[in-house]
Amino acid sequence: MTARKRIGILTSGGDCAGLNAVIRAVVHRAVGTYGWQVLGIKEGTQGFLQRPVQYQTLDLSNVDGHMMRQGGTILGTTNRGDPFAYPMGDGTTKDRSDEIIGGYRELGLDALIGIGGDGSFAILHKLAEKGGLKMVGIPKTIDNDLGMTEVSVGFDTAVGVAVEALDRLQPTAASHQRVMVLEVMGRDAGHIALAAGIAGGADVILIPEVPYSIDSIANKIKQVRASGRNFALVVVSEAVKTAEGTGVKKLLQGGEKRYGGIGDYIGEKIADATGAETRVTVLGHVQRGSPPSARDRLVASAFGVHAVDLIAEGKFDRMVAWSNRGVIDVPITEAIAHYSCVELDSALVKTARGLGISLGD
Amino acid sequence: MTARKRIGILTSGGDCAGLNAVIRAVVHRAVGTYGWQVLGIKEGTQGFLQRPVQYQTLDLSNVDGHMMRQGGTILGTTNRGDPFAYPMGDGTTKDRSDEIIGGYRELGLDALIGIGGDGSFAILHKLAEKGGLKMVGIPKTIDNDLGMTEVSVGFDTAVGVAVEALDRLQPTAASHQRVMVLEVMGRDAGHIALAAGIAGGADVILIPEVPYSIDSIANKIKQVRASGRNFALVVVSEAVKTAEGTGVKKLLQGGEKRYGGIGDYIGEKIADATGAETRVTVLGHVQRGSPPSARDRLVASAFGVHAVDLIAEGKFDRMVAWSNRGVIDVPITEAIAHYSCVELDSALVKTARGLGISLGD
Amino acid sequence: MTARKRIGILTSGGDCAGLNAVIRAVVHRAVGTYGWQVLGIKEGTQGFLQRPVQYQTLDLSNVDGHMMRQGGTILGTTNRGDPFAYPMGDGTTKDRSDEIIGGYRELGLDALIGIGGDGSFAILHKLAEKGGLKMVGIPKTIDNDLGMTEVSVGFDTAVGVAVEALDRLQPTAASHQRVMVLEVMGRDAGHIALAAGIAGGADVILIPEVPYSIDSIANKIKQVRASGRNFALVVVSEAVKTAEGTGVKKLLQGGEKRYGGIGDYIGEKIADATGAETRVTVLGHVQRGSPPSARDRLVASAFGVHAVDLIAEGKFDRMVAWSNRGVIDVPITEAIAHYSCVELDSALVKTARGLGISLGD
Amino acid sequence: MTARKRIGILTSGGDCAGLNAVIRAVVHRAVGTYGWQVLGIKEGTQGFLQRPVQYQTLDLSNVDGHMMRQGGTILGTTNRGDPFAYPMGDGTTKDRSDEIIGGYRELGLDALIGIGGDGSFAILHKLAEKGGLKMVGIPKTIDNDLGMTEVSVGFDTAVGVAVEALDRLQPTAASHQRVMVLEVMGRDAGHIALAAGIAGGADVILIPEVPYSIDSIANKIKQVRASGRNFALVVVSEAVKTAEGTGVKKLLQGGEKRYGGIGDYIGEKIADATGAETRVTVLGHVQRGSPPSARDRLVASAFGVHAVDLIAEGKFDRMVAWSNRGVIDVPITEAIAHYSCVELDSALVKTARGLGISLGD
């Protein structure tokens, strides 16, 4: 039996599918099972910076129905603003961490659930250390690059949207005998590109973990054609860099071009090297806002319930995690310390190579 | 009672959803009802240029099952190559129309069904006039800019894909308080942008038929914010030009930039004028290759049946068309002569304005 | 320039996709353009029967974002309760029409927009005649059986869901060499079955407008098999009756069976007559609650704007309608008087027959 | 380096999403990497019973493009006919196992990949023991009830289709204040119901592993209403039995009723016990034939590659399996011996209870 608590919940960093399902699960467990109070902090830690603190009370009446089926987060989020070095808008930064801690105390919170990625967790952990915040983290990122968990909320949906795009590009590629290049998200890791490329029938998948050469890509496409197939599908992670070793967006901003991404660069190089008619699609933010897949909602629900249970048991500074068909929890410091990029000996890399997919190397 | 005929069918110009449903309907009517033979010419008129002519025999056994549910065209298509001025690859062109006519005769065709847009119809009509080809046209274009028909095959699906993108962008826009710009297809006319923008809840829709000012767009976005809503959706037709009156892609090729489209341009201008965090998505070829909507398959099926009936009745040089819940046919020359852009007094423009959507003017 | 008005809006009868898009359009036009007040009456006319009248004020802040993208109606609806003969629960009925009229007056409404089908319109028209209500109707019904309009809100989505089901049944039918029977909605008319059957590649479509014989259906299925295809798809409208001329559900309730519908009956007869392995799917309420298609949202938006304009112009007792790519309006009494079932010489019936689809006759 | 081999592949038992992706992966690995020959046996083991054996040669040219994106199996399948006790159609059975073994030898196969469930594996294992077939199994079943693997091909898609149905039923439930009952597949285990119910926001989930009482279900629904929510969602596994302990379909066939399933039974009981307007949807075969989800295609691809690798390494009588984000293999006898129903202390059961979902107990 636990005493009645008041807990806060916030979403932080880039949004993704499944955040609302996490929020719903937390409310069902905390309010429905334990009879606690749940306050939803607005816009990540931004809500704590305002006075009065910006929040909404969450109870069963406002989390059921359509909400869990929807992308985005009803609480709002942001990827701006480390409170320890908060950008003041005039080029300077300021340590506003005490304001966050003050906001937490103003609400009289017993604990805080932060739904975020490694960046958010690092900040929340620092706040917890400095101000005594009792915090539990729930991992979300479409990039799936968080260590210590098999999967994070949002990844499965993002992969599904990318695969659907490949399903749509394939018939038009075949009708016009084209090479279709699809640039997908993934800030530093190639997980989305790798999974979507395998599931979507790609011939080439470029991920930042594997250096590529245009020659190698061109050879694969020529080989596809030689086998009698008149089209090819290429998936490129946005984290892939140009042959000169620079990220395209940076290059473009530093030089003459300001628009476009690595997909355009790769598409142009393929066209030059193979003579193939090439078209590029940059999938963009539809990967984030899509309705969450069943699996993302399942993982989100399990995470939300377990995070509340951790608070009930007085376990803090931990991140819930998925492992072997179930939910566990790990020290959040370990999760922050382990970045998860694509392992070159992983099952999916082997599967990709086994299918004859070129990784550009 | 009609004598046994041998007819050809080809798809021409950019592919779209519903082409396979047309082909299936033609085969069911011609083979199933009339007992004719149907030859599917490969890659538009390109198949006629080769010797032997490239084609596949189509009968009931290869058009049922999954085929009609799929985007693209099983026959292949191309938007290269006016046979009256065929690009020879060395910069010169050559009149190869006699080869097309010869191909048609080689196969002993009694008639030809061409599924295409106004450009394809103009060529087919010239071929018919010159060589005595008996031709019937079936209108397809995602742009819906063909005159004399309420709708062309492919439009409904393209709109649906664009609306789905807006459905996905809305939650992420709201979560991050962003302005989301979606660039949709539409070579010269704004039909996709207008329909998708209304159905997808856009605040601003830019179409080539309505001149815009950045000030006007910025005012609308400020007004949305003033009303308490923290996000906005903007749909831009690819046919919209920059404020300088130039198409973006041309501008970029002529200058320093080669990538990106009008969506990027508009997004940048909105960000500058409003200070809003702005993100741009260029939807691209997923609008073409998506599985056809129910409506596109219905229209495709009705068109295919009617086109075969026209041949049975000996009526040629006509285009089938949709009018008032049914299929009619019109002289193909009239269809070619009437380009259909967005009428400023149309029901949808009035609806857009009635909903408070800014058209940028 | 119109004076500031206060108008009511209600949804009545069975729900369908697109109702929220209508509500949104009405609010945007009435509040956004004209500066009126819009009150959403709860649960159709039921809200008017309670004191105080049950309603919610609708303004721009609660109709944007996700709402238009969602099935159902935020106002609630019901298909119980003709107020002129209201079922009192004890087997008796009572005329409660004065209470409705009283509710309308209590709110001080200048006009009322009723979104409904012919049943709802008949009641609203009687109320208008009796009590001086100023009423405009907006047609919605997945059955598309309302006269005087080419299409009603909800039909396109319902057809799309049924076609998607056929797209899913086809591969499993082919894998197992089965006949798949799909029972779709349509209380009295066969529009959904006919459209979905054509677009979904059905071999047999049974609609209440065409009498069928099991022999004829069995012959078609044998013919499909003889042609080498190992599966068949059959679409049955729920309004089709048994060979004995009775609706299945009634038969079942009067006899020993209480569950199941005409689809089960037809499936059993086909299995008996052909020996084919047969499976039946009754699609049910997923046809209503699905997110609205782009087209349903377009039509809904155009209808909502035009209905408000009618009120601004002082035109009442009219129904908005779709005709020839635009919105018109007609006397609501005419719409009530014209029931629209499937015309046997319509383009879609001709298309179905042209494709070789058996209508069971 | 392996010698050139000739291997067979067959799909057996009920079809599901992802089978074609397995076939494609096997062909890519066996033909593309190893240069072997792959023969696809038609209709499970049925193809081996015919003379000549019914098969098609599979190479890279016929497995790419649309095929992997499609439900069903291009090879056909069946769940009729244990060859050791083959039903002869006259009520008797016959041991035809030698014919299967003879078929295998006729083709000169070096190995056989069987894609199936536990029933198929038991038969294939007996055939291997008796006739020296070299066999590798790939697990597929929408029911996910195969032991020794975290997941089988087809499960993720089936869950996704069921969740989508709940997403569609929720708005219509709320609009009409209804209880919606959804019956989902799952022959003996409740995995689909449990996963779909959690992800789809169900209030009640009935699975065969947990005995239920109507009183308990009714209490949950009354409690939902008391909390102010006007609708409820109930998911019922088809494997659930009536309160009398009998499966509904059997009951109905033995008694007066022949149609309907447990969903209808539960719906009626809920309506009786709560007075709620209740509607039942029986989802049926759309759960099988849907296009495979990204995850099902990933797992299918990984399984296909690994199965071929097992053959290359000379390891037989094993089943590939998913474990901890990767592919392993286990003795097929162990897989057959371990039936996997829902564990009552599993993470998902805890999650369901944590969300306040009633399991009817």
* Mean pLDDT (whole number) for C79-91: 89
Instruction: Name the strands in the sheet holding C179-184, side by side, starting at the edge strand that comes first in the sequence.
Output: C204-206, C232-237, C179-184, C278-282
Check whether A258 has a pLDDT greater than 50: no
Percent of all residues in chain C with a pLDDT value above 90, rounded to a whole number: 89
Which chain B residues are within 8 Å of A228, Cβ to Cβ? none
Phi and psi torsions of A328, nearest 5°: -125, -175
Tell me how close the Cα of B255 comes to any Cα of chain A, in angstroms.
9
Contact D171 C259 (CB under 8 A): no
C252 pLDDT band (50/70/90 cuts)? very low
d(CA B19, CA A166): 19
Q: Best mutation site among D152, D295, D328 for testing chain A: the one with the most A CBs within 10 Å?
A: D295
Amino acid D256: pLDDT? 39
CA C138 to chain centre: 12
Going by C-alpha positions, the residue among A79, A261, C67 that lies closest to residue B277 is A79
Q: Provide DSSP, A130-144.
A: HH---EEEEEB-TT-
d(CA D347, CA D361): 18
Find the helix or strand (DSSP H, E) in which A175 lies: helix A155-176
Query: Per the structure block, which two tokens stand in for D346?
Result: 């599993």
Contact, B175 vs B328, CB < 8 A?
A: no
Contact A295 D295 (CB under 8 A): yes
Amino acid B257: pLDDT? 42
pLDDT digits (tens, 9 = 90+) for D119-161: 999 999 999 999 999 999 999 999 999 999 999 999 999 999 9
Contact, C143 vs C188, CB < 8 A?
A: yes
Q: Best mutation site among A10, A54, A75, A175 for testing chain B: the one with the most B CBs within 10 Å?
A: A175
Sequence-distant (≥ 6) Cβ neighbours of residue D95 within 8 angstroms: D83, D84, D85, D86
Amino acid D260: pLDDT? 61
Q: Quick check: C71 contacting B, CB < 8 Å?
A: no
Contact D294 A229 (CB under 8 A): no
Amino acid C54: pLDDT? 98
Amino acid D257: pLDDT? 42
Of C65, C291, C294, the CB nearest to B174: C65
Contact D354 A65 (CB under 8 A): no
d(CA C123, CA C117): 10
Which chain D residues are within 8 Å of C268, Cβ to Cβ? 258
Q: What is the CA radius of gyration of chain A?
A: 22
CATH class of A6-153+292-323: alpha beta
Sequence-distant (≥ 6) Cβ neighbours of residue A26 within 8 angstroms: A7, A9, A38, A58, A113, A304, A305, A307, A308
Of the residues A15, A143, A145, A309, which is catalytic? A143
pLDDT digits (tens, 9 = 90+) for D150-201: 999 999 999 999 999 999 999 999 999 999 999 999 999 999 999 999 999 9
Going by C-alpha positions, the residue among B151, B185, B207 that lies closest to residue B285 is B185
- Phi-psi domain of B177 (left: phi exceeds 0; alpha: psi -120 through 50; beta: other): left
Q: Quick check: D280 contacting C, CB < 8 Å?
A: yes
Handedness of CA C156, C158, C161, C166 (dihedral sign): negative
Amino acid B242: pLDDT? 84
CATH 3.40.50.460 range(s) for chain B read 156-288+344-355
pLDDT digits (tens, 9 = 90+) for A235-257: 999 999 987 766 555 444 433 34
pLDDT digits (tens, 9 = 90+) for D38-87: 999 999 999 999 999 999 999 998 898 899 999 999 999 988 779 999 99
Amino acid D22: pLDDT? 98
Phi and psi torsions of D37, nearest 5°: -110, 140
For residue A115, the one-letter residue type is I
DSSP assignment letter at A306: H
Q: Which residues of D does the annotation mark as catalytic?
A: 143
d(CA A150, CA C344): 59
Per-residue pLDDT of chain B (361 residues; tens, 9 = 90+): 557 999 999 999 999 999 999 999 999 999 999 999 999 999 999 999 999 999 999 999 889 889 999 999 999 998 877 999 999 989 999 999 999 999 999 999 999 999 999 999 999 999 999 999 999 999 999 999 999 999 999 999 999 999 999 999 999 999 999 999 999 999 999 999 999 999 999 999 999 999 999 999 999 999 999 998 999 999 999 999 987 766 555 444 433 343 468 999 999 999 999 999 999 999 999 999 999 999 999 999 999 999 999 999 999 999 999 998 899 999 999 999 999 999 999 999 999 999 999 999 9
Which chain D residues are within 8 Å of B66, Cβ to Cβ? 66, 70
CA D39 to chain centre: 24
pLDDT digits (tens, 9 = 90+) for C208-241: 999 999 999 999 999 999 998 999 999 999 999 9
Query: Per the structure block, which two tokens stand in for C6?
Result: 């206060």
Instruction: Name the strands in the sheet holding C111-116, side by side, starting at the edge strand that comes first in the sequence.
Output: C55-58, C37-41, C6-11, C111-116, C135-139, C318-323, C326-331
Q: Best mutation site among C22, C73, C164, C168 for testing chain D: the one with the most D CBs within 10 Å?
A: C168
CATH 3.40.50.450 range(s) for chain D read 6-153+292-323
Query: Per the structure block, which two tokens stand in for D256?
Result: 């007066």
- ipTM confidence: 0.95
Which chain A residues are within 8 Å of D182, Cβ to Cβ? none
Amino acid C253: pLDDT? 41
Long-range contacts of A93-101 (CB under 8 A, 24+ apart): A96/A49, A97/A126, A97/A127, A97/A130, A97/A131, A98/A131, A99/A48, A99/A49, A100/A45, A100/A48, A100/A49, A100/A127, A100/A131, A101/A127, A101/A130, A101/A131, A101/A132, A101/A133
CA torsion A104-A108-A111-A117 (nearest 10°) is -20
Winning range, highest mean pLDDT, from A230-244, C77-91, D291-305: D291-305
Q: What is the CA radius of gyration of chain D?
A: 22
Whole-model pTM? 0.96
Beta strands in chain C (DSSP E): 6-11, 37-41, 55-58, 86-87, 93-94, 111-116, 135-139, 179-184, 204-206, 232-237, 278-282, 318-323, 326-331
**Strand C232-237 and strand C179-184: pairing?**
parallel
Query: Per the structure block, which two tokens stand in for C334?
Result: 């005419």
Check whether C258 has a pLDDT greater than 50: no
Which chain A residues are within 8 Å of B252, Cβ to Cβ? 259
Neighbours of chain C (3+ CB pairs under 8 A): A, B, D
A81 pLDDT band (50/70/90 cuts)? confident
d(CA B76, CA B63): 15
Check whether A259 has a pLDDT greater than 70: no
Scanning the structure block, which residue is given the tokens 């790798």?
Answer: A194
Check whether C312 has a pLDDT greater than 70: yes
Percent of all residues in chain A with a pLDDT value above 70, rounded to a whole number: 95
CATH class of A156-288+344-355: alpha beta
Sequence-distant (≥ 6) Cβ neighbours of residue C292 within 8 angstroms: C17, C18, C20, C21, C68, C69, C70, C71, C154, C157, C300
Q: Quick check: C163 contacting B, CB < 8 Å?
A: yes
Peptide bond into D171 cis (omega under 30): no
CA-CA distances (angstroms) from residue D57 to A225, A334, B338, D332?
21, 51, 51, 27
d(CA D149, CA D329): 9
User: For residue B242, how many C-alpha atoms fall within 13 Å in the half-sphere facing its CB?
Assistant: 14
d(CA D318, CA D337): 13
Query: Per the structure block, which two tokens stand in for D304?
Result: 């296909």
Q: Quick check: C172 contacting D, CB < 8 Å?
A: yes
Amino acid D251: pLDDT? 42
Scanning the structure block, which residue is given the tokens 């061109």?
Answer: A218
Residues 3-42 on D with a CB inside 8 Å of B are: none
* Mean pLDDT (whole number) for A174-194: 96
Amino acid C183: pLDDT? 97
Peptide bond into D52 cis (omega under 30): yes
Q: Which residues of B does the annotation mark as catalytic?
A: 143
Going by C-alpha positions, the residue among C280, A139, C96 that lies closest to residue D261 is C280
